[in-house]
Amino acid sequence: MSSTPHDPATGARIIAQTLKKLGVLVVFGLVGVPVSDIAEQVIAIGIRFIGFRNEQAASYAATAYGYLTGTPGVCLVVGGPGVLHAIAGVGNASENNFPLLLLGGSIETHQVTKGAFQELDSVSLLTARTKHSVRPPNVESLPYIIANAYRCSFYGRPGAAFVDLPADIINDPLSPEELKDTKEVLTIPDAPRSGADNRGLNKVIALIKQAKAPLVLVGKGAAYARAEHSIRAFIEQTSIPFLPSPMGKGVVADSHPANASAARSTALKLADVVIILGARLNWIFHYGETPKWSSSAKFVQVDISPEEMGRNAGDAEYSLLGDVSVVVEQLLQLLGNWAYDQTRSDYVQNLELAKRKNGRVSSLAANDTSMPLTYHRVFDIIKRGLHLLSPPLEGGVCLIAEGANTMDISRSIFSFEHPRLRLDAGTYATMGVGLPYAIAAWEAYNAPNAKASSGPAKRKKIVAIEGDSAFGFSGMEVETMARMGMDILIFVVNNGGIYFGDSNTADDWTAKQEKTKRNEPGLRSWALGWEVRYQKLAEACGGLGFFVRTAEELEKATIAGFKATVPVIVNIIIQSGKMEKASFGWQVAPRRKTKAASL
């Protein structure tokens, strides 16, 4: 039986009290022996507990909550397989630089190495994959150990921290001596912030002032740092074109005239000085290398992490180490009222030409009336519906996009006026994050003790657009949404497969399936079920489902789904089997030698 606050004190209660003192408002997890008591104590003390259907999903949700709130997301799982599943979230947190505190149960200390229930040496496993991985030596040290792990996960470059919690430390009643010796938890203040050194700043100012084609890149590090005020002021003052990363969208409003997103390729090719604010020169920005970028472009990295400086095409000579908000304010002060003279080259003119040309192509694609529906048409209809019901300027929706084509194509169609409102598979291109991220976003923006904010309206409608493959990774979390009373709107963009499906018609698909059953070459590796009725999963859990084939049906379902007070799945059948080769739009390998290779 679970303990209550009136039972003798145990480690479980001390853990809950510690989390409360740290200001933790919600724990994401999946209970079992030996961590159930921690979850019960957490609930008893007034912290929300969201129980998932798989630890992987719980750990993903905690990472996104950390990103959206700027404080570590906490995830509680059982040992052995539970910790193994949650390592997915550890990888996701580390790669995206999101703060995560993972708490994992383990067997009683005296059973170690005996082949005990769910036995795993989690600390050894996680030491290499986290910023901090620790097992408390005794119950008295729990408050300090947990608070320290919590602190480590979000001080400096955010990432994952792990605390292994043996069953005896969790569940054994404390002796009066242990209770007396239990350390007091200190609250952990916000992470310290610092600016860059003057020498570096002056060099960068000189570089910016002589640039003919400057460009600002805005990444999710800037969104995480809540640097929107200083970056908006910087763009206003300097008039330098900017380009957000997929999750950096909204730090500066997408509608700002200096937004070069609609001329992305042209901006990358022409830029000669690139100021990177909380983003990395990884695959998302093509390593800063040719053929996407000019080989003579100079990159100024503004980042909290010194290890990032000089990576790929970055030049450590021009790097500015510090908190992006503080560094941008420093730059603004030094620039005074200097602004980029757009007549110095035909750069801005070329960007405008490219924007107009690309705009025409996009609007043709959005108006493609062929049936079954296309990605572009579907996203255009959803966008119109959502913008009508929740105008972006007034706060807009929080949108999660997941799935190769779904994420790639929708990225340029939905615009954002405020930060931290667009989440996707991120740096690790992790599939399966969509529904857990939606739950985290609901919790961050809409829970009774919601702590995230973006733009004027506090409450946000949470919308997830999922490829049918991506949806399958965590589809059962619809039940979590329904149980927790989360009115999340999910669109499954269903082309019957990974990337692009397999067949153009039901007959073709069935014929291939028959061959597969006979063990002959039939369905291809990326095939999924033909027109699977995913919406029924929502109905089965107490939500609403819509099965949609036409534009009119989609318009109606978008409005009804938005207004519903339960989770909704809108299952949209789109064209399948149209593309020939699996690829992801952004994955362009540099054709030339990298800087390191040419040394």
Following CA atoms 13, 15, 17, 22 in sequence, which dihedral angle do they give, to the nearest 10 degrees?
-170
Which residue has the closest beta carbon to ligand ADP? 221
Q: How far is the CB of 516 from ligand ADP (least distance, A)?
A: 39
Number of residues that bind ligand ADP (CB under 6 A): 23
Bridge-based pairing of strands 568-573 and 422-424 is unpaired
DSSP H or E stretch at residue 544:
strand 544-548
- Choose between 213 and 225: whose C-beta lies nearer to ligand ADP: 225
Find the helix packing angle between 551-563 and 375-389, rounded to 10°.
40
251 makes contact with ligand ADP (CB under 6 A): no
Q: How far is the CB of 341 from ligand ADP (least distance, A)?
A: 28
- Choose between 192 and 521: whose C-beta lies nearer to ligand ADP: 192
305 makes contact with ligand ADP (CB under 6 A): yes
303 makes contact with ligand ADP (CB under 6 A): yes
Q: Are 182 and 143 in contact (CB under 8 A)?
A: yes
Could you tell me which of 187, 298, 312, 268 has the C-alpha nearest to residue 592?
312
- Choose between 424 and 477: whose C-beta lies nearer to ligand ADP: 424
Among 11, 34, 248, 372, binds ligand ADP (CB under 6 A): 248
308 makes contact with ligand ADP (CB under 6 A): yes
Instruction: Specify the stretch interacting with ligand ADP by CB under 6 A; choose among 14-22, 200-208, 303-311, 569-577.
Output: 303-311
Burial of 210 (0-12, 13-18, 19+ CB in 10 A): exposed
Q: How far is the CB of 151 from ligand ADP (least distance, A)?
A: 15
Which residue do the tokens 């919790």 mark? Answer: 443
Bridge-based pairing of strands 48-51 and 26-29 is parallel
443 makes contact with ligand ADP (CB under 6 A): no
96 makes contact with ligand ADP (CB under 6 A): yes
What x/- string results for residues 157 through 186 when contact with ligand ADP is judged by CB under 6 A?
Answer: x-----------------------------
Could you tell me which of 70, 125, 56 has the C-alpha nearest to residue 98?
70
- Choose between 59 and 575: whose C-beta lies nearer to ligand ADP: 59
Contacts of 58 (CB under 8 A, 6+ apart): 28, 29, 30, 50, 51, 52, 75, 76, 77, 86, 89, 436
Q: What is the DSSP letter of 217?
A: E
How far lies 457's CA from each of 31, 387, 418, 439, in Å?
34, 14, 10, 19
Q: How far is the CB of 315 from ligand ADP (least distance, A)?
A: 16
Distance between alpha carbon 67 and the CA centroid of its chain, in Å? 7
324 makes contact with ligand ADP (CB under 6 A): yes
Instruction: Specify the stretch interacting with ligand ADP by CB under 6 A; choose among 73-81, 241-249, 546-554, 556-564.
Output: 241-249
Distance between alpha carbon 99 and the CA centroid of its chain, in Å? 11
Q: How far is the CB of 189 from ligand ADP (least distance, A)?
A: 15
- Choose between 143 and 250: whose C-beta lies nearer to ligand ADP: 250
Among 219, 395, 403, 577, binds ligand ADP (CB under 6 A): 219
Q: Are 276 and 300 in contact (CB under 8 A)?
A: yes
Instruction: Tell whether the torsion through CA atoms of 61, 64, 70 and 75 is positive or negative.
Output: positive
Could you tell me which of 150, 8, 182 has the C-alpha nearest to residue 71?
150
Among 220, 298, 422, 460, binds ligand ADP (CB under 6 A): 220
- Contact set with ligand ADP (CB under 6 A): 96-97, 157, 219-221, 224-225, 245, 247-248, 278-280, 282, 284, 303-305, 308, 323-324, 427
